[in-house]
Structure 1
Amino acid sequence: MSESNDDIDCYLAAERNPHREPRVRITGLMVQYYHVCKRELWFMSRGLDIDRETTNIQRGNYVDENSYDSRRRSYRINGRIQLDLLDSGDVMEVKVSSALENPARMQLLYYLWYLDEVLDIEKDGVLAYPKERKREDVELDEEARAEVEDTVRGIIKVVERDAPPALEKKPYCDACLYQNICWV
């Protein structure tokens, strides 16, 4: 068995067993950060969290809390996976903007994968951008499953590093709440 498959097998074995601690406790936000900026993920994994009171974060929280609120319920799994289920049974992820669509899609796919692999619950997903009046159905097919497993392997590698990944200028660095750590 390759080291990569071993990482997934070990992660899943720990998640399925309440008496076993996984090497890394992966959250949906970590999946999103992995696809936005691995350096941001590394900082967050070390407890260097951003200011949750900024305007952008507050706006995102407001949109999330006030969109589809009568048609969805929130659930917390294993103390760190927080997802919303629509009345239809689909898992929903709500975002302010589609500017970072792939990271949001991967976060939702991680939830679907986690439900299937850890809890043996098959669900489909809906990615919603209420301000843009845009919705996308998301399904965990074999290609998506492979993407999620690559992401889980990647997150484990980033988080277990002794130092943050190299600095890499990206188009959204100027809006990032970690910019003072990276660029000063």
Structure 2
Amino acid sequence: MNSDQVTELRKAHITGTMVAYYFICHRKLWLFAKGLNLENISGNADVIKGRILHETRFNRENNKEVAFDTVKIDFLHYNGQVYVHEVKKSKKFEEAHTWQLKYYIYMLQEKGVNCSAGVIHYPSSMRREEVNFSPWDRELLMKALAEIQAVLSKPLPEKKAGRKMCSRCAYFDFCYI
């Protein structure tokens, strides 16, 4: 990807949440990007549990809620290099979580920060997943970001996915009622 394409991606204001939604549901990604953020207003039990976990875990960390550009990282840790930490409710969307964290690592690297790894914490199951960011990941992420831009440029969202996971989504009523 050349520097002009990277500049265009920055102008698209892609967030980590959008990267995660790309790996979960393109319709959800499109709706969220267009300003329909049902997770902040819904009474969805999974959303509420996730918010409580996020607010109550890792309270002693100094670098909580680090934000810049379109990035909002749960917390950072420094041990010779910067490590990105994300807190998630469950491993249900582990691939999406992994790419969201890799996006944060990429954005930090673009700012000149020495960062090539992070950790996803799943406090409910007392698990953590180490994530490393390689040159190959950078290439795959660039392709995903270009595809995200393509999804967002469509005049209408994609059709309903109709998968089992849809019934627990905060966007369910919007898509199915």
Q: TM-score band, normalised by the shorter chain?
A: 0.7 to 0.9
1:42 alignment partner, one of 24, 30, 33: 30
Query: For 1:136 and 1:67, how far apart are their aligned partners in 2?
Result: 16
Structure 2 counterpart of 1:25, one-letter code: H
Equivalent position SS for 2:164: coil
Match of 2:59 among 64, 69, 81: 69
Q: Note the residue ranges of structure 2 that are not aligned, 5 or more in a row.
A: none
Shift of 1:105: 0.6
2:6 aligns with 12
1:31 aligns with 2:23: no
1:113 to 106, 118, 125: 106
CA change 1:95–1:51 in 2 (3 A) is: closer
Q: Given the alignment, which residue of 159, 167, 173 partners 2:160?
A: 167
Please give the secondary structure, in 2, of the residue aligned with 1:137.
Answer: strand
**1:181 maps onto 2:171 in alignment:** no
Q: Do 1:112 and 1:122's aligned partners in 2 also have CA atoms closer than 8 Å?
A: no
Residue 77 of structure 1, CA deviation: 0.3
1:58 aligns to what?
A: 48
Which residue is 1:101 aligned to?
Answer: 94
> Quick one: which amino acid aligns to residue 56 of structure 2?
N
SS of 1:99's equivalent in the other structure is helix
Offset, 1:40: 0.4
The amino acid across from 2:114 in the alignment is: E
Q: CA deviation at 1:87?
A: 4.9
CA displacement 1:94-133 (0-9 Å, x = unmatched): 10100110001110000001111x2021312111101111
Shift of 1:11: 5.1
The answer to whether the aligner puts 1:81 opposite 2:81 as a matched pair is no
Any conservation in 1 of the 2:77–2:84 contact (CA below 8 Å)? yes
Greater share of residues in strand: 2
In the TM superposition, what is the alpha-carbon distance from 1:179 to its structure 2 partner? 1.5
1:51–1:112 CA distance, 2 compared to 1 (3 A): closer
In the alignment, is residue 145 of structure 1 matched against residue 138 of structure 2?
yes
Structure 1 length normalisation: TM-score?
Answer: 0.84
Q: Tell me, yes or no, if the aligned pair for 1:72 and 1:87 is still in contact at 8 Å.
A: no
RMSD value over aligned CA atoms? Answer: 1.9
Q: Identity across aligned pairs (percent)?
A: 25
| TM-score normalised by structure 2 residue count | 0.87
Give the distance between the partners of 1:87 and 1:127, measured in 2 at CA: 16
